[in-house]
């Protein structure tokens, strides 16, 4: 096979590997030879092709596979990717699946403390994966493949026999987007924070995306409308999934939040409940689920007319002068200002108020910054209570985004 033919048939193309679908299914990397049947394995890698190989080779073979991000401590037994080399062509190691489903252990981002491990089955990871036309999409991967969002892209591609292009995460976003466009990517998943940055890149005017997926953060109406305007031919899907609950459900109607009828008519049979203002998902295959099978998403929600809207994370609420404020709510208000592209709001301890809010914003290129901080504070004051008004607003060139695609507070 010539290099050009190989690239066209690659199921996963990363910096170090190009693996076709047949090579993934035949354990081309020889992972089963390194992991005893029924054993516990761990992968410490940010290579999407290696993670995809593990998903296709080790599920049903290993009893447990831990996907280790850089911030997590390695367990005693690790499949060291430095020793992985494609094995000579030969028959796939055949065996009947293990009686119990393989446990896939993921780690939370650790933004509010030490990363925690959460175990899943392939079933809990693939509940939002849908069958599509074989090979219809070429997916781009902007996430760490060990995380929930990255796994969703890989599993969707594997399920529909599509191709995934995974540029190096260390590259600047504009370079990765250019590489995806040049590789013929027509389907892309990203957080709302990443999409706001992508929409500012001139190269996107050349991009004929057919599938757009959002997840990982609250998707406000402004970003949904902006994507629909820039990519009119694309199908836009907002996926609700988290490390704690697994893949839950998706929304395709182009509106923020999700339909209130989902509470009575579960999407794809996945039951949802609001308990004390927090959304819970029926996820019996996840280690965080209670005895009734429900796991908390940690998302504060409220019913507004015919929608269930997200206010923020229960762990992120800030007490400002005796009032509870969700930073995400203030960020949404700031983004509604015509000169603001992106905003991030965090808390700063204050001896008088307990906490005050501080904001960082990026602006549309060419915006006059004279007095902009005062303007934006007044913008928030006109639309919310005084506790929501940031004590300071700083204009920055760009906001830092983590490997999970989320803006760092």
Per-residue pLDDT, averaged over 155-179, amounts to 92
Topology of the domain comprising 317-395: GMP Synthetase; Chain A, domain 3 (3.30.300)
Angle, alpha carbons 195-249-49 (nearest 5°): 60
Read off the tokens for 160: 């529909």
pLDDT at 92 over 90: no
pTM (2 d.p.)? 0.84
% of the chain at pLDDT higher than 90: 59
Instruction: Tell me how far the alpha carbon of residue 26 is from its chain's centroid.
Output: 28
The CATH number given to 3-309 is 3.40.50.12780
Confidence band for 87, pLDDT divided at 50, 70 and 90: low
pLDDT, one tens digit per residue, over 39-74 is 888 888 889 999 999 999 999 999 999 998 766 665
Under 8 Å CB-to-CB from 258, ≥6 apart: which residues?
Answer: 238, 240, 249, 251, 307, 308
pLDDT at 111 over 70: no
pLDDT at 93 over 80: no
pLDDT at 327 over 60: yes
Written in H, E and C, the secondary structure of 11-39 is: EEECCCCEEEHHHHHCCCCCHHHHCCCCC
Give the dihedral of Cα atoms 42, 44, 45, 51; nearest 10 deg. Answer: 10
Per-residue pLDDT, averaged over 209-214, amounts to 96
CA distance 273 to 262: 9
Q: Among 22-31, 90-99, 217-226, 351-360, where is mean pLDDT lowest?
A: 90-99
Confidence band for 89, pLDDT divided at 50, 70 and 90: low
Read off the tokens for 324: 């509870």
pLDDT, one tens digit per residue, over 121-132 is 988 888 877 766
Q: Which sign does the torsion angle of CA 149, 154, 160, 163 carry? A: positive
Q: Please report where in the chains the tokens 């992972």 appear, as a residue.
A: 31
Paired strand residues for 282: 294
Read off the tokens for 395: 């204009």
Q: What is the pLDDT of residue 358?
A: 96
Instruction: Tell me which residue of 178, 199, 191 sits closest to 147, measured CA to CA.
Output: 191
Confidence band for 2, pLDDT divided at 50, 70 and 90: very low
Mean pLDDT over all residues of the chain?
87
Per-residue pLDDT, averaged over 352-381, amounts to 94
- What residues does each domain of the chain span? 3-309, 317-395
Per-residue pLDDT, averaged over 140-157, amounts to 91
């Amino acid at each position: 096979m010539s290099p050009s033919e190989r690239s066209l048939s690659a199921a996963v193309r990363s910096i170090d590997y190009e693996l076709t679908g047949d090579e993934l299914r035949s354990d081309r990397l020889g992972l089963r030879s390194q992991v005893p049947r029924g054993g516990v394995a761990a992968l410490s890698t940010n290579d999407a092709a290696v993670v995809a190989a593990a998903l296709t080779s080790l599920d049903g073979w290993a009893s447990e596979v831990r996907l280790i991000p850089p911030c997590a401590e390695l367990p005693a037994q690790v499949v060291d990717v430095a020793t992985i080399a494609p094995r000579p062509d030969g028959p796939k190691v055949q065996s009947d699946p293990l009686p119990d489903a393989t446990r896939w252990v993921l780690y939370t981002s650790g933004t509010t403390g030490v990363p925690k491990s959460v175990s899943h089955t392939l079933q809990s990871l693939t509940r939002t994966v849908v069958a599509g036309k074989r090979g219809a999409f070429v997916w781009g991967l902007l996430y760490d493949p060990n995380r929930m969002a990255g796994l969703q892209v890989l599993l969707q591609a594997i399920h529909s026999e599509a191709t995934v292009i995974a540029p190096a995460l260390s590259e600047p976003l504009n370079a990765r987007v250019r590489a995806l466009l040049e590789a013929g990517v027509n389907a892309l998943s990203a957080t709302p924070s990443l999409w706001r940055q992508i929409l500012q890149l001139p190269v996107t005017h050349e991009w004929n995306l057919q599938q757009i997926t959002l997840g990982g953060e609250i998707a406000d109406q402004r970003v949904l409308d902006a994507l629909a305007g820039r990519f009119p031919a694309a199908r836009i899907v907002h996926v609700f999934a988290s490390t704690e609950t697994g893949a839950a459900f998706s929304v395709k109607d182009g509106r923020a939040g999700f339909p209130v009828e989902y509470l009575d008519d579960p999407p794809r049979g996945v039951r949802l409940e609001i308990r004390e203002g927090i959304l819970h998902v029926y996820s019996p295959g996840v280690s965080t689920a209670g005895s009734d099978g429900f796991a908390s998403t940690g998302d504060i929600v409220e019913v507004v007319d015919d929608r269930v809207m997200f206010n923020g994370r229960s762990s992120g609420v800030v007490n400002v002068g005796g009032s509870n404020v969700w930073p995400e709510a203030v960020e949404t208000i700031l983004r509604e200002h015509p000169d603001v592209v992106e905003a991030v709001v965090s808390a700063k301890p204050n001896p008088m108020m307990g906490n005050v809010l501080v904001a960082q914003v990026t602006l549309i290129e060419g915006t006059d910054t004279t007095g902009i901080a005062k303007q934006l504070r007044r913008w928030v004051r006109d639309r919310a209570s005084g506790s929501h008004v940031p004590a300071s607003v700083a204009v920055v060139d760009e906001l830092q985004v983590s490997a999970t695609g989320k803006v760092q507070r």
